[in-house]
Amino acid sequence: MVAARKLQACKYFSGLMVMSLGEVVVLGVALLVAAIALFIALRAGKAGGSDDRLAQLTGRLSQMAESQTAALARNAEQLQAQERAVTKMLDERLAEVTRRIGDNLQKTSEKNTEVLGVLQERLAVIDAAQKNITELSAEVVSLQDILSNKQVRGAIGQTQMEDLVRNMLPPGAFDFQVTLSNGKRADCVIRLPNPPGVIAVDSKYPHEAFMRMIASTDERELALAEAAFRTDVMKHIKDIAEKYIVPGETADSAIMFVPAESVFAELHDRFPGLVEEGFRRRVYIVSPTTLMATLNTVRAILKDARMREQAHIIQTEISKMMDDVNRLDDRVAKLATHFGQTQKDVEDIRISTGKILKRGVAIENIQLDDASAHAPPEDTLLAGEELRRSLQ
Whole-number Cα distances in Å, 293 to 268, 277, 290, 323: 17, 22, 5, 43
pLDDT of 53: 66
How big is the chain by its Cα radius of gyration, in Å? 64
Residues of the chain with pLDDT under 70: 1-55, 57, 61, 137-154, 367-392
CB 149 within 8 A of CB 137: no
3-state class (DSSP) for residue 285: strand
Write out pLDDT tens, residues 331-351: 888 888 888 888 888 888 888
Max CA pair span of the chain: 206
pLDDT of 383: 47
pLDDT of 150: 58
| CA atoms lying within 13 Å on the CB side of residue 61 | 19
Write out pLDDT tens, residues 57-88: 677 767 777 777 777 778 888 888 888 888 88
3-state class (DSSP) for residue 283: strand
pLDDT of 367: 58
pTM of the model: 0.45
pLDDT of 2: 44
Strands 185-191 and 198-203: antiparallel
CB 262 within 8 A of CB 162: no
pLDDT of 139: 60
Which residues pair with residue 284 across a beta bridge?
255
pLDDT of 19: 45
Whole-number Cα distances in Å, 155 to 148, 150, 188, 275: 12, 9, 13, 24
Buried b (16+ CB within 10 A) or exposed e, 184-202: bebbbbbebeeeebbbbbb
Strands 198-203 and 174-179: unpaired
